[in-house]
């Protein structure tokens, strides 16, 4: 049996609903038949020379990017989304790590294709069409980690969420995620795999969720939870203001009960869900549906909405408080096999053995999420991380990667980074030793090396960084030092 691909999902919708609107911009609508024609033309252009295996998309979010995304899938290539808004050196490093052999970039005359040397592939499934895309997440060693996702994993996810959220022709999905954020795959293919419409906001609409939902008749909302806090802070989320929403999904950060309650009141006819999942488990792997009656809301230890239960087509186990998952949505291993060490484990007869890199990774291995959970009334509650990884606006940030970049400044000796604030107020605070450097200079220095969400908002010079009795950096002590109270 031939494996189904993301393009197959789109093509089936184009066949069934050719006249339906596939993507809608302010003032412009493209039907499935029209989008299919654009994709077929672009695919023909892509294969005039050497057929690409990995296509990098260094494109602003918009029609050209969507057409190129689908066209790359059409010719059997894996897509590597890259952002025009991050330093070029970072994009080049990601393209090189992913063995991108064709790079598509914005050009005044449209999209320009740049062929690259066909380096040996750095992951399984390089040329056989099995990979759908490669995403890059922050790495603790100072370099981003490449996460290859096969078609079988993302198709399994889309098949499940289509049923879970009653997705079909006529539904209208929000589009809040950048293409370099893996959750954007839900925006695109939960829509295009269902004959639904992807509704692309204008810049002003992106800043005003309520106006966007109402003016564009959104039925399915998906974003990071911090959007709620930001909207509440602007006094723009009154009760009953979004009556047309059917489903409201939040993922990428902790969802607090106060925010869930505010959104539930604002969208009284909407199902509200807290969705959970790391990039390595393909978009999301667990969810909790908030009961309509607030009297049924559980009292969690950290006032967060539970992450719920793991999807029925996946397996999970909690080992020493850490959630571990395997199944159809688990990725096959990082682009750099060295990153696999310690990221997986086997569990047999009660014995736990971490994967040390010896031997092949198999379907029997469990992926270690690094997330601490506890079960409460049959639902998983997220308690935090086992390591130093943090989330900022839904993006994974390894403090070590930011610290590595800051230490490259000639006047900085050591650096340590923490998250200060929470929810929509969460931001990075950097502490450093060495000579005094103007905060704006450090911010500009970081912006030339890191994407926007990894640039600290504050920089504090200290005589020395605090360490505990075992010599480990005392991040808790830094958090106390960053608290203005």
Question: Of 385, 404, 426, which marks where a domain is finished?
Answer: 385
Long-range contacts of 259-266 (CB under 8 A, 24+ apart): 259/225, 259/228, 259/229, 259/232, 259/423, 260/228, 260/290, 260/305, 261/294, 262/228, 262/232, 262/237, 263/228, 263/237, 264/290, 265/239, 265/240, 266/210, 266/237, 266/238, 266/239, 266/240, 266/241, 266/242
Q: How many CB atoms lie within 10 A of CB 24?
A: 17
Instruction: Tell me what the mean pLDDT of segment 12-39 comes to.
Output: 98
Q: Among the three residues 341, 356, 385, which one is the final residue of a domain in this structure?
A: 385
336 and 462 fall within a common domain: no
Q: What is the CATH number of the domain that holds 475?
A: 3.30.300.30
Q: How far is CA 354 from CA 140, 329, 343, 351, in A?
A: 19, 20, 8, 10
Q: Which position has the higher pLDDT, 187 or 125?
A: 187
Count Cβ neighbours within 10 Å for each residue of 264-287 and write b for 16 or more, e otherwise: bebbeebbbbbbbbbbbbbbbbbb
* Other residues' Cβ atoms within 10 Å of the Cβ of residue 411: 13
Asked, for residue 398, whether it belongs to a domain, the answer is: yes
Query: pLDDT value at position 122?
Result: 46
Within 10 angstroms of residue 423's Cβ, the number of other Cβ atoms is: 19
Task: Give the pLDDT of residue 111.
Answer: 94
pTM above 0.75, yes or no: yes
Are residues 252 and 224 in contact, defined by beta-carbon separation less than 8 angstroms?
Answer: yes
Determine whether 357 is exposed, middle or buried from the number of CB atoms within 10 Å of its CB (0-12, 13-18, 19+).
middle
The yes-or-no verdict on residue 123 having pLDDT over 60 is no
Domain contains 467: yes
Identify whether residues 33 and 160 lie together within a single domain: yes
pLDDT digits (tens, 9 = 90+) for 415-432: 889 888 776 678 899 999
- Average pLDDT rounded to a whole number, residues 237-246: 97
Reduced to 3 states (helix: H, G, I; strand: E, B; else coil), residue 225 is coil
Q: CB burial class (10 A; 0-12, 13-18, 19+) of residue 32? A: buried
Q: Are residues 371 and 397 in the same domain?
A: no
Identify which of 381, 399, 383, 382 has the alpha carbon closest to the alpha carbon of residue 391: 399
SS (H, E, C) 119-169: CCCCCCCCCCCCEEEEEEECCCCCCCEEEEEEHHHHHHHHHHHHHHCCCCC
CATH number of the domain residue 83 falls in: 3.40.50.12780
* CA distances, 248 to each of 6, 177, 197, 275, 381 (Å): 24, 15, 16, 10, 20
Q: What are the tens digits of pLDDT across the range 153-176? A: 999 999 999 999 999 999 999 999
Residue 311 lies in a domain: no
Residue 301 lies in a domain: no
| 435 and 328 inside one domain | no
- Could you tell me if 146 and 334 are in contact, meaning their C-beta atoms sit under 8 angstroms apart? yes
Q: Is the same domain home to 240 and 336?
A: no
Helix (H, G, I), strand (E, B) or coil at 459: strand
Rounded Cα distance, 198 and 172, in Å: 6
Residue 336 in any domain: the answer is yes
Q: Can you give the C-alpha Rg of the chain in angstroms? A: 22
Same domain, 395 and 458: yes
One domain for residues 289 and 339: no
Does 312 reside within a domain?
no
Average pLDDT score over residue span 323-333: 97
pLDDT for position 1: 55
Same domain, 437 and 351: no
* 457 and 427 Cβ atoms separated by less than 8 Å: yes
The residue from 385, 402, 428 where one domain ends is 385
Q: Indicate if 79 and 110 belong to the same structural domain.
A: yes
226 with 276, same domain: the answer is: yes
pLDDT band, very low/low/confident/very high, at 43 (cuts 50, 70, 90): very high
Does some domain include residue 421? yes
Could you tell me which of 197, 150, 157, 155 has the C-alpha nearest to residue 174? 197
Tell me if 351 sits within 8 A of 299, measured CB to CB.
Answer: no
Number of domains in the chain: 3
Let me know whether 150 and 174 are in one domain: yes
Query: What domain range is 429 assigned to?
Result: 390-482
Q: What is the pLDDT of residues 276-290, one digit of tens each?
A: 999 999 999 999 999
Structural domain contains residue 51: yes
Check whether residue 327 and residue 206 sit in a common domain. Answer: no
- Residue 310 DSSP SS3: strand
């Amino acid at each position: 049996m031939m494996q189904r691909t993301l393009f197959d999902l789109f093509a089936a919708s184009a066949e069934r609903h050719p006249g339906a609107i596939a993507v809608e911009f302010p003032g412009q609508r493209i039907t499935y038949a029209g989008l299919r024609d654009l994709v077929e033309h672009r695919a023909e252009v892509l294969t005039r020379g050497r057929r690409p295996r990995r296509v990098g998309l260094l494109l602003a979010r918009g029609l050209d990017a969507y057409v190129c995304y689908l066209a790359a899938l059409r010719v059997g290539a894996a897509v590597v989304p890259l952002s025009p808004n991050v330093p070029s050196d970072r994009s080049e490093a990601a393209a090189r790590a992913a063995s991108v052999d064709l790079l598509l970039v914005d050009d005044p005359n449209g999209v320009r294709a740049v062929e690259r040397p066909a380096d040996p592939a750095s992951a399984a499934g390089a040329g056989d069409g099995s990979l759908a895309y490669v995403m890059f997440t922050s790495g603790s060693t100072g370099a981003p980690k490449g996460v290859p996702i096969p078609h079988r994993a993302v198709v399994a996810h889309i098949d499940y969420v289509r049923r879970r959220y009653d997705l079909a022709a006529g539904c209208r999905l929000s589009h809040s995620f950048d293409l370099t954020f893996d959750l954007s795959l839900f925006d695109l293919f939960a829509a295009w795999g269902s004959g639904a419409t992807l509704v692309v906001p204008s810049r002003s609409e992106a800043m005003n969720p309520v106006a966007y939902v109402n003016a564009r008749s959104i039925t399915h909302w998906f974003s990071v939870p911090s959007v709620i806090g930001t909207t509440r802070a602007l006094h723009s989320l009154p009760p009953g203001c979004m009556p047309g929403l059917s489903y409201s999904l939040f993922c990428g950060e902790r969802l607090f009960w106060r925010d869930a309650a505010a959104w539930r009141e604002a969208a009284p006819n909407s199902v509200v869900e807290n969705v959970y999942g790391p990039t390595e488990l393909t978009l999301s792997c667990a969810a909790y549906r908030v009961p309509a009656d607030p009297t049924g809301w559980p009292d969690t230890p950290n006032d967060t909405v539970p992450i719920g239960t793991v999807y029925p087509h996946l397996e999970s186990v909690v080992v020493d408080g850490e959630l571990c998952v395997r199944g159809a949505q688990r990725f096959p291993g990082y682009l750099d096999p060295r990153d696999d060490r310690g990221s997986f484990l086997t569990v047999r007869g009660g014995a736990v053995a971490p994967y040390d890199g010896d031997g092949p990774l198999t379907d029997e291995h469990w992926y270690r999420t690094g997330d601490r959970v506890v079960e409460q009334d049959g639902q998983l509650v997220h308690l935090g991380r086992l390591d130093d990884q943090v989330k900022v606006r839904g993006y994974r940030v390894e403090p070590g990667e930011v610290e590595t970049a800051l230490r490259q400044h000639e006047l900085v000796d050591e650096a340590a980074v923490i998250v200060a604030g929470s929810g929509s107020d969460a931001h990075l605070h950097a502490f450093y030793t060495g000579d005094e450097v103007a905060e704006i200079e450090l911010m500009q220095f970081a912006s030339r090396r890191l994407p926007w969400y990894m640039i600290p908002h504050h920089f504090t010079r200290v005589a020395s960084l605090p360490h505990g009795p075992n010599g480990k950096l005392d991040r808790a002590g830094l958090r106390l030092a960053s608290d203005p109270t």
